[in-house]
Amino acid sequence: MSDKSELLLKPKRFYKAAAAAPVDGGFAIQLDGRTPKSPAKKPLVAPTKPLADAIAAEWEAQVDYIDNSLMPATRLAFTAIDRIAETRAEVAREITAYAASDHLCYRAEHPTPLVERQDREWGAILDWAKAEFGFVFTPVAGIIHQPQPPATLAAVEALALTLDDFALAGVAFASGLFGSTVLALAVRAGRLTGRKALDLSRLEEVFQAEQWGQDDEATARAEALAVEADMIDRWFAALR
């Protein structure tokens, strides 16, 4: 598809200014005073002003056309508004499933410097999760699935169900992004930045790049992931 054809599929920017304004139930994103609707026709309202400001900034940053691919916080807000309230139990199970195969529990078998780095850096975050939430995970060398303690998974699911819709949407998104519920919760708590959590989730790739360099495709993929990691960092900060 040509660039021109792609532009024809995107709506033109139809508003002069985007901003956040207080309304019942939170802060609405307003486009020239009117609140856009989600795909399910619900108003785009965030629970805090910092989050509403961040979402409004994405709308303000659009130029001639509205490009949803450049609006990750808006997309996640629509998910929180349209999906989470109706599927909280399902989303909590998704988060628990990431915990059941948490990336931090699968360690390299070699080389020794990578093994030691994973043990040190990943171990520190697992120690934090134990101290903060009582989660006990069982690391394993290699990629063969290691069942995690049922009590830990039950506690993860219970914690997920206590979160409000926007926090739950954020943890689900971050768990998928990092392949780790523990890293997602660490970013939500401010224990890690989104970028640091991403680096930890890609520790083997980062290690290999440090040793041998990184090709253009891998660099582009890492940069795209970093945009999402930065967004979820801002998302959680705006909800605190």
What is the DSSP track for 177-237? HHT-HHHHHHHHTTSS-HHHHHHHHTHHHHHHHHHH---HHHHHHHHHHHHHHHHHHHHHH
Q: Hey, is 10 helix, strand or coil?
A: coil
Q: Among 47, 71, 95, give the residue marking a domain's end.
A: 71
Q: What is the domain range of residue 42?
A: 3-71
pLDDT-based confidence at residue 147 (cuts at 50, 70, 90) = very high
Final residue belonging to a domain, choices 71, 98, 123: 71
pLDDT in tens, 31-84: 999 999 999 999 999 999 999 999 999 999 999 999 999 999 999 999 999 999
Q: Residue 207 domain-assigned?
A: yes
So what's the pLDDT on residue 85? 86
Question: Do 176 and 133 share a structural domain?
Answer: yes
Residues 63 and 100 in one domain: no
**Residue 217 forms part of a structural domain:** yes
Q: For residue 225, is pLDDT > 90? A: yes
Confidence at residue 191, expressed as pLDDT on a 0 to 100 scale: 98
**Could you tell me if 96 and 157 are in contact, meaning their C-beta atoms sit under 8 angstroms apart?**
yes
**Residue 130 covered by a domain:** yes
Residue 78 lies in a domain: no
Q: Does residue 106 sit in the same domain as residue 203?
A: yes
What is the domain-level CATH number for residue 233?
1.10.3580.10
Q: Is the domain of 133 the same as that of 44?
A: no
Whole-number pLDDT of residue 8: 54
Do 65 and 128 sit in the same domain of this protein? no
Asked if 67 and 100 sit in the same domain, the reply is no
Asked if 56 and 49 count as a contact pair (C-beta separation under 8 A), the reply is no
* Residue 45 sits in the same domain as residue 155: no
- Over residues 230-237, mean pLDDT: 98
183, 229: one domain: yes
Residue at 3: amino acid letter = D
Residue 80 lies in a domain: no
Per-residue pLDDT tens digits for 2-30: 444 455 578 999 999 999 999 999 999 99
Q: Which helix (DSSP H) or strand (DSSP E) does residue 19 occupy?
A: strand 18-23
Identify whether the C-beta of residue 61 lies closer than 8 Å to the C-beta of residue 142. no
Q: What is the CATH number of the domain that holds 47?
A: 3.30.2180.10
Average pLDDT, the chain: 94
End-to-end CA distance of the chain: 42
Q: Is 76 inside a domain boundary?
A: no
Q: Stretch 99-103: mean pLDDT, rounded?
A: 98
Q: Is the same domain home to 97 and 135?
A: yes
Asked whether the CA dihedral 121, 127, 129, 132 is positive or negative, the reply is negative
Domain termination residue (choose one: 46, 71, 96): 71
Check pLDDT > 50 for residue 224: yes
Mean pLDDT of 222-230: 94
- Same structural domain for residues 89 and 183? yes
Question: 8 and 67 share a domain?
Answer: yes
Q: Which helix (H) or strand (E) holds 45?
A: strand 45-46
Assess if residue 174 is contained within a domain.
Answer: yes
The answer to the question of residue 169 being in a domain is yes
Domain count, the chain: 2
Residues 209 and 231 in one domain: yes
**Backbone phi and psi for residue 107, each to the nearest 5 degrees, phi listed first:** -100, 150
Predicted TM-score of the model (pTM) = 0.92
3 state DSSP class of 43 = strand
